[in-house]
């Protein structure tokens, strides 16, 4: 039944993909993060004057009228929530800006590229747009973006990001600023921009089950797979009686290949470059995911064997992000690639009585993690739509969003409620440490469930690890606070330290030279020309669907046949032309990285 459903799904996906006419974003390795964890790991600083001008760019903020309620749409490819902003963050928007925000999230819509194609064809992508830099160039060419330059003189917080947006303006070849990169950081580009004390991607296992299995040391990823099988055998159901699987996948963030397979490239020193190409931080080794016996291929085989053996969640092909994230939090999944899938034992306020994930190293791995980037991280940017009714009010909001205070709100940090300052340092309150999903916002913030009211934008303009003056110069990321590092330990983190000899995964990997950093660069991949865009879209459908078919193959012979048939069709869709185009971009990226590395 599963195979029939998958075949129907694949056929429909092929039809929809060929119907689209725009570029498909390349698999850069960028990953959307879980909204709640994004909030747990950030905080703000001084807001500055929230000025936003008329077209002349000379009026002060007082000149912006908020008399009319402004209902805006944000098209956000990074968001994991779709719908109206609600709860306490909605109250802040209404009180400060008389604004209501509806988030349009392709990740949640489940229609792939079609939502972008439909809205861009209609000439209105959104009032505020959050998407890849390459897509921003497409949208500028199509006249979908409004100039931000007239308003920037009165946006002091956005001006602090001028290094990033001027570099991107130059790469776009425009006289004015049409997009501002996100997650900009002034931290050292050679340092890993992880998730607090964790790496961005790694081998995270359900910690209670790992300890119950005897917490064995792992030499290779083969050992990891064997251990996960054992953990499922020992823990077939959760405490609530729900079925547990070693592996569970989802397809929302796939792009041209199965995300759950290519993600394992990070464990051996590679990060996404362009299209199907991945490379080491210095560019000394470049590989193609579709190479025979690539690590991507090997993990498709591992997942296929797990499926046939009963260790892979059969819902993997159809379930969205929200479902797998809920399963992970409920203990129904034993393996996670990221700190933000499920709960992490190092998350601020983590309760060991709930299911949580901890990093388990393998001796043969070399984790590749992105470095801090003054040009912006993950290759995404913010823009305003050319058809926006009140662009000055949108820029006023974005300036607030880039402020230290705005970053605090984005991170769920409100002084006197979720944290307080003690001797010049931030300390989480009992309310801030409470991770219950039933936690209620205070009456002065409008009440309602706290989690329902968090900021759902899910992508900041400023990196939360940067110093925040409102927090005494400490970062917004709460797991990096002095008070958290001193007092935020729990039974599970203590056990982790006992097993591995240091407090955190980042410390462990750095001390063993098992961490390599991809330095932040100012290079942005150009927008695909129309012929390359068509080739990429068709090949993406072919390779992604073949990957899922391979995972659900009923035998080794069927698995190999699907791979061989897929490879035999590549040239029919312009494979070599795409590879030549992408490799030229990879070479430009290598040159940019060598420049940063001083080579």
* Concatenated DSSP letters of 63-119: GS---S-EEEEEEETT-S--EE--HHHHHHHHHHHSEEEEEE-HHHH--TTHHHHHH
CA distance 543 to 275: 12
Average pLDDT, the chain: 89
Backbone angles phi, psi at 161, to 5 degrees: -100, 15
**What pLDDT sits at residue 38?**
38
Contact between 147 and 133 under an 8 Å Cβ cutoff? The reply is: no
HSE-up of residue 349 (Cα within 13 Å, Cβ side): 21
Q: What is the mean pLDDT of the segment spanning 288-313?
A: 97
| Segment 189-203, tens digit of pLDDT | 888 998 889 999 999
Question: Is residue 16 scored above 90 in pLDDT?
Answer: no
Rg value, the chain, Cα:
23
Question: Is residue 428 scored above 90 in pLDDT?
Answer: yes
Q: What is the mean pLDDT of the segment spanning 275-287?
A: 96
Q: Residue 70 has which token pair?
A: 């402004």
| Segment 525-572, tens digit of pLDDT | 888 899 999 999 999 999 999 999 999 999 999 999 999 999 999 999
| Segment 32-73, tens digit of pLDDT | 333 333 333 333 233 333 333 333 333 345 489 999 999 999
Please give the domain boundaries of the chain with CATH numbers for all domains. 35-188+375-480 (3.40.190.10)
| Segment 330-357, tens digit of pLDDT | 999 999 999 999 999 998 888 899 999 9
Q: How many residues does the chain have?
A: 599
Q: State the DSSP H helix or E strand holding residue 515, giving kind and residue range, or none if neither.
A: strand 515-518
**Band of pLDDT at residue 437, cut at 50, 70 and 90:** confident
Q: Which residues contact 326 (CB under 8 A, 6 or more apart)?
A: none
């Amino acid at each position: 039944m599963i195979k029939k459903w998958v075949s129907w799904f694949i056929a429909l996906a092929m039809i929809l993909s060929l119907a689209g006419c725009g570029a498909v974003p390349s698999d850069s390795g960028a990953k959307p993060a879980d909204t709640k964890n994004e909030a747990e790991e950030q905080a703000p600083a001084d807001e500055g004057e929230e000025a936003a001008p008329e077209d002349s760019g000379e009026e002060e903020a007082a000149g912006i009228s908020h008399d009319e309620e402004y209902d805006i749409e944000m098209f956000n490819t990074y968001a994991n929530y779709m719908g109206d902003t609600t709860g306490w963050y909605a109250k802040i928007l209404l009180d400060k800006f008389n604004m209501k925000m509806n988030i349009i999230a392709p990740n949640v819509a489940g229609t792939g590229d079609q939502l972008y194609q439909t809205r861009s064809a209609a000439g209105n992508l959104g009032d505020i747009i959050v998407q890849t830099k390459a897509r921003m160039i497409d949208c500028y060419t199509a006249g979908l973006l409004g100039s931000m330059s007239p308003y920037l003189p009165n946006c002091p917080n956005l001006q602090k990001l001028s290094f990033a947006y001027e570099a991107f303006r130059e790469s776009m070849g425009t006289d004015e600023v049409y997009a501002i990169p996100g997650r900009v950081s002034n931290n050292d580009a050679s340092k890993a921009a992880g998730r607090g004390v964790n790496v961005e991607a790694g081998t995270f296992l359900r910690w209670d089950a790992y300890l119950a299995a005897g917490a064995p040391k792992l030499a290779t990823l083969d050992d990891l797979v064997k251990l996960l099988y054992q953990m499922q055998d020992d823990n077939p159901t959760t405490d609530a009686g729900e079925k547990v699987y070693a592996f569970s996948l989802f397809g929302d963030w796939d792009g041209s290949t199965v995300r759950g397979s290519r993600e394992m490239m990070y464990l051996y020193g590679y990060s996404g470059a362009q299209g199907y190409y991945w490379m080491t931080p210095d560019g000394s080794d470049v590989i193609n995911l579709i190479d025979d016996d690539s690590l991507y291929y090997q993990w498709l085989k591992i997942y296929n064997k797990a499926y046939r053996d009963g260790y892979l969640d059969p819902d993997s092909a159809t379930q969205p992000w929200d479902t797998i994230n809920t399963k992970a939090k409920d203990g129904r999944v034993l393996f996670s690639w990221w700190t933000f899938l499920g709960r992490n034992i190092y998350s601020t306020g983590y309760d060991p009585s709930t299911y949580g994930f901890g990093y388990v190293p393998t001796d043969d791995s070399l984790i590749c993690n992105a470095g801090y980037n003054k040009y912006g991280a993950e290759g995404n940017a913010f823009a305003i739509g050319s058809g926006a009714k009140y662009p000055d009010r949108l820029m006023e909001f974005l300036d607030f969003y880039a402020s230290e205070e705005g970053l605090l709100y984005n991170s769920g940090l409100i002084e006197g409620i979720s944290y307080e300052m003690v001797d010049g340092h931030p300390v989480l309150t009992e309310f801030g440490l409470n991770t219950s999903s039933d936690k209620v916002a205070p009456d002065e913030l409008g009440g309602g469930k706290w989690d329902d009211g968090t900021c759902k934008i899910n992508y900041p303009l400023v990196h939360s690890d940067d110093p925040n003056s409102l927090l005494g110069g400490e970062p917004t990321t709460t797991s990096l606070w002095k008070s958290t590092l001193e007092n935020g330990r729990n039974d599970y983190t203590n056990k982790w330290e006992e097993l591995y000899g240091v407090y955190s995964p980042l410390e462990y990997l750095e001390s063993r030279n098992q961490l390599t950093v991809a330095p932040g660069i100012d290079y942005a991949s150009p927008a695909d020309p129309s012929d390359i865009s068509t080739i990429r879209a068709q090949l993406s459908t072919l390779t992604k669907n073949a990957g899922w078919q391979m995972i659900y193959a009923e035998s080794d012979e069927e698995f190999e046949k699907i791979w061989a048939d897929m490879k035999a069709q590549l040239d029919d869709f312009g494979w070599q032309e795409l590879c030549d185009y992408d490799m030229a971009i990879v070479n430009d990226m290598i040159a940019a990285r060598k420049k940063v590395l001083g080579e």
